[in-house]
Amino acid sequence: MKAVGIKGEVGPATALFIDDIPEPAVSKGEVLVKINAFGLNRMDLIQREGHYPLPPQAPKTLGVEFSGVIEKTYGAASGIDSFKVGDEVFGLAYGGAYAEKIVVSTEMIIHKPAKMSFEEAAGIPEAWITATQAVFLVGCFKKGDRVLLHAGASAVSLAAIQLARNAGAAEVFVTAGSQEKIDLCVNELGAAAGFNYKTQDFAEEVLKATGGKGVDLIVDFVVGQGYLEKDIRAAAVDCKIVLLGLMGGIETQGPIDSGSILRKRIRIEGSSLRSRSLDYQKALRDRLVQEAMPRFEEDSFKLFIEKVFSWKDVVQAHQLLESNHPLPPRFQV
């Protein structure tokens, strides 16, 4: 079958090419999906450059989210009774989605609503499952919490805004680098306010907006460049700070106020998704189905697609994401 390969195993976007690889075999509890569309994520760029430590079960082929049609199942194996050949599905994988076909556990796929396009479905798994993990499983969100999401116009934060508001957040605040991104979060998705990290001290603004109380949950993809220090200032008592990335580097800009961490009883926890066990990812899949699928069915949750590429133009697609465009592109096979 055809799949996207990398000349020399690692390299720049221009090293990507359409390769021929063996079709994967289906084992118990798995299905073979003919891929219609797959999503691109920043981890793909890091993996392509050789800087992403792959979990042992991940194939070399890039890509963790996809949509398509089930082409083959493993006989009458347990766990696949609700899925059959011909079903339209989308899901999350440890890798291998940049291809014509993929083998994936039935515990990591979801039936695609008929009204949802394959391109829209391919953009859900990584961002929405990561947001579900950050808000509910790690962030321990509860109704009435105030939430601060960094990288507000990123795919994960766009999902998290909607999940938190749907679950009863008192207020959701975001940070972003332009008024256009802030307007998207506030006007389109109902965030209470957005703060431009280039021109504003977001901790100061959060405290003003909350009457000095701070927020109960912070999801941070940046950490460095002063973010963690400001997170601690913006935190309310018993705040959970969830670290999902290191876009700002691993070094803090100034000293960490350990006294505030102690006094406010702040919990700071790092998390990842791809390295998690299948059981853990299944629990997240199930929570996403519970929290989001009814909203997708009734069109009350919004999905954003900036551009759809032919997968033969994967080089240009990677270059677009590298340019730090606000929304992640999706690809069609």
Number of domains in the chain: 2
pLDDT of residue 16: 98
Q: Alpha helices, DSSP H only, in 108-263?
A: 118-122, 125-132, 155-166, 179-183, 202-209, 227-234, 258-263
Q: What is the pLDDT of residues 198-224, one digit of tens each?
A: 999 999 999 999 999 999 999 998 888
The reply to whether 295 falls in a domain is: no
> Are 118 and 160 part of one and the same domain?
no
> Are 139 and 255 part of one and the same domain?
yes
Q: What is the pLDDT of residues 272-320, one digit of tens each?
A: 888 888 898 999 999 999 999 999 999 899 999 989 999 999 999 999 9
> Are 209 and 265 part of one and the same domain?
yes
Cα–Cα distance, 139 to 165 (Å, whole number): 14
Residues 129-146 have a mean pLDDT of 96
The reply to whether 296 falls in a domain is: no
Question: Of 254, 270, 286, which closes a domain?
Answer: 270
The reply to whether 277 falls in a domain is: no
Host domain of residue 157: 127-270
Residues 184-189 have a mean pLDDT of 96
> Are 143 and 258 part of one and the same domain?
yes
> Are 172 and 142 part of one and the same domain?
yes
- Quote the pTM value: 0.91
CATH number at residue 103: 3.90.180.10
> Are 170 and 134 part of one and the same domain?
yes
Strand pairing report for 146-149 and 171-176:
parallel
The reply to whether 283 falls in a domain is: no
pLDDT of residue 332: 47
The reply to whether 289 falls in a domain is: no
Mean pLDDT over each residue of the chain, to the nearest integer: 92
Q: What is the pLDDT of residues 223-258, one digit of tens each?
A: 888 889 999 999 999 999 999 887 777 777 888 899
pLDDT of residue 63: 96
- Tokens in use for 333? 């096979």
> Are 316 and 218 part of one and the same domain?
no
pLDDT of residue 326: 44
The reply to whether 135 falls in a domain is: yes
CATH number at residue 234: 3.40.50.720
